[in-house]
Structures are given as C-alpha cells and as structure tokens.
Amino acid sequence: MRQALTKILAALSILLCSSAAALKADSDSREIVSAELAKPVIRGAIVFKNYCVLCHGERGDGLARSAKLYGVVNLAIRKLDEEYLQKIVRKGGAGVGRSAFMPMWKAELSEEQINDVVSYLELVGDNVSRGEVVFKTNCILCHGITGNGKGRASHLFDPRPADLTRSDKNDDYKRMIITTGGESMGRSAAMPAWGEQLSPQEIGDAVNYLRTLLVGN
Ligand code: HEC
Ligand code: HEC
C-alpha cells in the first residue's frame, strides 16, 4: 500500500516537473511576467487610474467628468520637467502657488507610488502607450507579453488565445470582441467581455496598441 503510494507520488512529481518544463518552453515565464508588471510606468498607470483620472481624465487632457467642478482651472497635464512634477504631486497645487484643488499626495501615496505615477505622466498623453498598459495589465496571462497567444494560462484553453501578432481582423472587429467577449461573436467564451471593466477609451487605446504588435509592422 505504502509502496504503491510512493510510486504514485514519484509518477506525479515526474509529470509535474515535465509539464512545468513544457510550460516554460512554450509560454511566458513567471519571471518575465513579474518583471514586466513591476515596471514603474505600469505600476504608475494603476496609481493614475485610482487617484488621478477623476480630475485629469484618462488621457491626462483634463477632460474628466468632474473637471467642470473646478471652473476655469485647466486640468490638462502638460509636458513639464520631472522636478516640477515631483513637487506638485508631493506638495499639491498650494505648495507650488497653483490651485489648491490639486491635492497634496505625499501623505497619501508611498515614495514608490509617487515616483511611479510621475514616470507614467510622461506617457499618459500617448494612446499607444496607454494601450500597452491596458494590454499588459489585463491580457498577457492569456495572449502573452508579445501578443503571440502564449501567455502563462494559454494552455488551459481550447481553442488557444488568439495570436494577436497575426490577426487578420480589423480594428472594429477587435473593439467589438474585446467589449462584448468571444461568445457574443460566435467565438470561444474563454475570451472575456471587457466592456464592464474597461472604458471605451481604454479599449480603443488597446486596439491601437494591438496594431503595433502585428508582424511585419
Ligand atoms: C481633486 C482633483 C484632482 C486630483 C484627484 C488630482 N489633481 Fe492634479 N491637479 C488638479 C488641479 C485643479 C490642477 C491645476 C492646478 C492649477 O493649474 O492651478 C492640477 C494640476 C496637476 C499637475 C500640473 C499640470 C500642469 O500641466 O501644470 C500635475 C502634474 C498633476 N496635477 C498631477 C496629478 C496626479 C499625478 C494626481 C494623482 C496622484 C492628481 N494630479 C490628482 C486637480 C487634481
Ligand atoms: C482568459 C483568457 C483571455 C484573456 C484574459 C483575454 N483573452 Fe482575448 N482571446 C482569448 C481566446 C481564447 C481567444 C480566441 C477565441 C476563439 O478563437 O474562439 C481570444 C481572442 C481575442 C481576439 C480576437 C483576435 C482575432 O484575430 O480573431 C482579440 C482581439 C482579443 N482576444 C483581445 C484581447 C484583449 C485586448 C484582452 C485584454 C483586454 C484579452 N483578449 C484578454 C482569451 C483571452
């Protein structure tokens, strides 16, 4: 009995090791994914979404829903040098002689979050960069970091997640399948519907980014 159990355990561990090795060869490694998600701009984008979008808008252009509450103050984030950005984010508008409606963040956010969000401010105006962040924070476990369909979880699905570097679908189709999910388009239900989690702006940005992943681009 005991011997049989030992044999089963041994067989199981061989199976586990070999599938782990196969996984490694065929899909993104855990290290690569963690390194990608630890990039300051990726983390900074999340901070921006949680704390800044409300006033500055998803594109940092000041066209947020609450912007009108601040009357004539322009909420667009311009290209400014890093030292100034650090200062206004830490000390708030009042700390640099600007509107006090810009909160002081140094007590609210960690050092790391402040540095991260400041590095994201340089990219917030660029639709492809914003789309890259949407893709990397939502899609890579299935579609892979490079979009080749070999994400860490890709082997769990049949059909496999699409290879987005070789997609023959146009932007409208992509926007639709991302918003409403695979099932509503007669495709696999494993492709989730993102229309509730992501805004139309974010989905549009992701589609722009996907265009840059196409081979031969
Ligand atoms: C409650 C609304 C509000 C929130 C939330 C907010 N801001 Fe602001 N922010 C403002 C206002 C108002 C100004 C404009 C100040 C002025 O022009 O006098 C401003 C200005 C700025 C500027 C200077 C823009 C320029 O071009 O001069 C930066 C940079 C900035 N905010 C970054 C951030 C970051 C990063 C966050 C999130 C951590 C954030 N803000 C959250 C209201 C807000
Ligand atoms: C849980 C796994 C999973 C996640 C997460 C996921 N997808 Fe998919 N996606 C799939 C699968 C599976 C298919 C293929 C469906 C089929 O072939 O029937 C697919 C198909 C697609 C297609 C169609 C491509 C083509 O050429 O036909 C696009 C575009 C797409 N996904 C974009 C995205 C984007 C953008 C995200 C992130 C916001 C995302 N997917 C997240 C599993 C996933």
Cα–Cα separations (whole angstroms), residue 156 to 24, 34, 82, 148, 153: 14, 20, 44, 15, 6
Fold of domain 127-217: Cytochrome Bc1 Complex; Chain D, domain 2 (1.10.760)
Amino acid 15: pLDDT: 44
- Whether the per-residue pLDDT at 202 is higher than 90: the answer is yes
Predicted TM-score (pTM) of this structure:
0.89
- Tens of pLDDT, residue by residue over 166-179, are 999 999 999 999 99
Domain boundaries, the chain: 29-125, 127-217
Amino acid 217: pLDDT: 73
- C-alpha torsion 157→23→136→31, nearest 10: 160
- Whether the per-residue pLDDT at 5 is higher than 80: the answer is no
Residue type, 67: A
Amino acid 89: pLDDT: 98
- Whether the per-residue pLDDT at 211 is higher than 70: the answer is yes
Indicate which residue's Cα is closest to atom 37 of ligand 1: 52
The answer, yes or no, to whether any atom of ligand 1 lies below 6 A from the CB of 55, is: yes
Which of 46, 50, 54, 55 should be mutated for ligand 1, with most atoms under 8 A from CB? 55
Residue type, 57: G
The answer, yes or no, to whether any atom of ligand 2 lies below 6 A from the CB of 182, is: yes
Name the 3-class secondary structure at 63.
Answer: coil
- Tens of pLDDT, residue by residue over 76-102, are 999 889 999 999 999 999 999 999 999
Domains 29-125 and 127-217 share a fold: yes
Amino acid 24: pLDDT: 47
Residue 13 — pLDDT band, cuts 50, 70, 90? low
- Whether the per-residue pLDDT at 21 is higher than 80: the answer is no
Least confident piece of the model among 9-18, 41-50, 204-213: 9-18
Residue (of 48, 64, 37, 182) closest to 123 by Cα position: 48
Fold of domain 29-125: Cytochrome Bc1 Complex; Chain D, domain 2 (1.10.760)
- Whether the per-residue pLDDT at 46 is higher than 70: the answer is yes
Ligand sitting nearest the alpha carbon of 166? 2
CA distance linking residue 118 with residue 47, whole number of Å: 10
CA distance linking residue 141 with residue 147, whole number of Å: 10
pLDDT, mean of residues 207-214: 98
Residue 14 — pLDDT band, cuts 50, 70, 90? very low
pLDDT, mean of residues 8-13: 51
- Whether the per-residue pLDDT at 47 is higher than 60: the answer is yes
The answer, yes or no, to whether any atom of ligand 2 lies below 6 A from the CB of 167, is: yes
Amino acid 6: pLDDT: 55
